[in-house]
Structure 1
Amino acid sequence: MKIRKAETKDLSRIAEIYVFNNRINYFPIFKDAGFSFGEMQVVSVIDNYFKKEDVLKNIFVFDDGVIKGFVQIDGTEIRKLYVDTCFQSEGIGCELIEFAIREFCVDHLWALEKNTRAISFYNRHGFRQTGQKQFEEGTTEYIVELKR
C-alpha cells in the first residue's frame, strides 16, 4: 500500500508540502506576506506543530518512493489533507480521503469558506456543508463544517 504511518524522518517533506500549499491557497485570501513568507517556514512548522507526538501519530503519508501528500486524522475528523502541488490531479488526494474514511470512519472536517477548490473536492467525496461556521483564528474569514 502506498499509504503508511508517518515517521519522524518524513517531517521535512510533510512540512514542505504544508507550507507551499498554504502559500498557494491562503496567501491570496489573507494577503499576509509577513505570515506566509516570514513566520511560516518549514523548520518552524515542524518544531511548533508536526513534531508534537500527538500530531505525528495521527499523520499518514502517500509514499510511492516520494512522499506526495498526507492526511492528519483526529478521531473521525480530517484535520489536514494536502497533496504536493506538483502531484495534484493524480488521484492522491482521493486515495488519502478514501483511506481516512475506510480506516478511521472519518465523517467530518472544516475548510476555509473561500477555499472553494477544497470544498469542491470534499463534495465530490460525499462531504456536504452543514451550515455551521466559525471564525478562522485572528480573522473575519469563516471556516465551514463539512459532514459525510
Structure 2
Amino acid sequence: MIREITEMDYPRLMEIWQSAVLNTHDFLKEEDFLYYKEQLPTYFKHVTLFGFEKDGILVGFIGTSNENLEMLFIDNDFRGIGIGKKLITFAIANLNVSKVDVNEQNTQAVGFYKHAGFKVVKRSALDEKGKEYPILHMEL
C-alpha cells in the first residue's frame, strides 16, 4: 500500500535510507555518508513524500519535487520484490515525475531507472554539493 508520509514517519525513513545506502552506495565515503544522514531530515521537508507499506510496516519511500524524483529508497530486506517499481510507477502516474538524477556509481539504480524508461540526457562530474560523485541526469 502506498500512502503519504508524515513527520512521525521520519525516524523509520531514516532507518530505510540507512539500510538502502549501506547496501547500494559502496562508493560513498564514510564522512559523506554521515553528512548526508545528518542532512536528511532537512531534505524531507522540501519534498513530497510517499511510502510503501508491506504488512503494516513502512519498507520504502519516494520524495518528489515538481517533476523530479529526488529520492527513492527501499529497506535492504525488501529489495528485489517490486516495491521500487510500484513506487516509480506511482510517481510517474500520480505525481507527474519525468526526471531523476542518479549517482553514476550506483549501477543498480541506473539500471533500475533505465528499465523504468528513463534515458540519460546529461552528466555532471560533481553532485549538487560539489562532491566528486558523478551524477547522471535522466528523463522519460
TM-score by length of 1: 0.83
What's 1:29 paired with?
27
Unaligned runs of 5+ in 1: none
What's 2:8 paired with?
9
Which is higher, the Rg of structure 1 or of structure 2? 1
Query: CA 1:101–1:89 in structure 2 vs 1: closer, same or farther (change >3 Å)?
Result: same
Q: Is the 8 A contact 2:24 2:108 kept in 1?
A: no
What is the CA distance between 1:47 and its match in structure 2? 4.4
What's 2:43 paired with?
49
Q: Is the 8 A contact 2:125 2:132 kept in 1?
A: no
Distance 2:36 2:137 in 1: 25
What's 1:105 paired with?
96
Query: CA 1:87–1:132 in structure 2 vs 1: closer, same or farther (change >3 Å)?
Result: same
Matched residue count: 138
- Between structures 1 and 2, the one with greater helix share: 1
Identity %: 27
Q: Please list every run of at least 4 consecutive aligned residues from structure 1 whose deviation after the TM superposition is greater than 3 angstroms.
A: 38-41, 44-49
What is the CA distance between 1:35 and its match in structure 2? 4.0
TM-score by length of 2: 0.87
* 1:92-145 CA distance string (max 9 Å, x none): 000000000000121110001111110100111100111342511242221011
Unaligned runs of 5+ in 2: none
Residue type of the alignment partner of 2:139: K
